[in-house]
Amino acid sequence: MTGDIQFDGHGRLRHLLTIEGLPRQTLVDILDTAESFISFREREIKKVPLLRGKTVVNLFFESSTRTRTTFEIAAKRLSADVINIAVSTSSTSKGETVLDTIRNLEAMHTDLFVVRHSLSGAAYLIARYLPAHVHLINAGDGAHAHPTQALLDCFTIRQLKGGFDKLSVAIVGDILHSRVARSLIHALRILGAPDIRVVAPKTLLPTAVETLGVRPYSDMEAGLNGVDVVVMLRLQRERMRGALIPSEQEYFNLFGLTPDKLAHAKPDAIVMHPGPMNRGLEIDSAIADGPQSVILPQVTNGIAVRMAVMALILGGSPADEGRRG
């Protein structure tokens, strides 16, 4: 559905709304571009003038300090002007519609919106009404998609594992409500990962989840057996309806990642988490802070990946800037 609207008439990325349906080369281009930005963080002056004169608006209808901050840092490192809108105190709380808010911000010569919303499909709805010169990045919409999180996860996996064609990846936790899981599954499939597993109580697995190209497990030890990558998901308390788990303690006993459970994965397996973590619920602190955890590198890589997406959408050339810098 969103595949066509994400590209302009010349086949260039116009919006990033979802991973689903994107060509493999688009994902590779984003990962390669992010790689070119990694070295910038070692410089004394970390800014490059790729987006000088551009205006980026972070419009978050749902709070997320980590994602908003990394988008802000990414845009500022590209020399864009950045505006953060506190939606809870803006005109939307006085009855203004989302599209009214967007149109008013468009009138201020916004070039790129970064939008997070609690409703699935909100980013797609907004993108349909944007003029051709205005772009949008989906920073998470309901339980639907979180494309830049999937991209930074894939970037981290590629950085540490070298590629995807022989990888076994287990995604553990609240698959049913997780936009992170959906986007990551699509990305891993597009990039050629042959073995993608989802591990969760049956109440937290979507109906017919196998149609996504994954293997479901309701036993943690079997699901982690021999995997290269373990991706733990936050338990989505705010999106859950009804008693989908018996208790938090039982959930941790069965599906929380502990040293004993991780021992079933490969010895060099890496552990990932999109954050924020619920320690003692989905992950033991011994794992979160342990040698196999790459949770903090994920955050660092998120800046480079978001720089890459902004640069490609707004037409920058990071390789040229790197040579000039």
Residue 66 annotated to the active site? yes
The active-site residue out of 26, 67, 70, 156 is 67
Residue 194: phi and psi, rounded to 5, are -85, -20
Residue 77 annotated to the active site? no
The active-site residue out of 52, 66, 128, 166 is 66
d(CA 27, CA 24): 5
Q: Cβ–Cβ contacts within 10 Å for residue 215, how many?
A: 14
Over the range 50-79, which residues count as b (16 or more CB within 10 Å of their CB) and which as e? bbeebbbbbbbbbebeebbebbbbbbbbbb
d(CA 108, CA 7): 24
Residue 116 annotated to the active site? yes
The active-site residue out of 54, 77, 135, 146 is 146
d(CA 136, CA 70): 16
d(CA 297, CA 180): 17
318 to 34, 39, 286, 304: CA distances (angstroms): 9, 12, 39, 11
The active-site residue out of 77, 116, 261, 306 is 116
3-state helix, strand, coil in the chain (%, to 5): 45, 15, 40
d(CA 157, CA 170): 12
d(CA 108, CA 90): 16
Residue 189 annotated to the active site? no
The active-site residue out of 10, 94, 241, 323 is 94
Residue 94 annotated to the active site? yes
Question: Quick one: tokens of 177?
Answer: 């409500």
Residues classed as catalytic: 66-67, 94, 116, 146
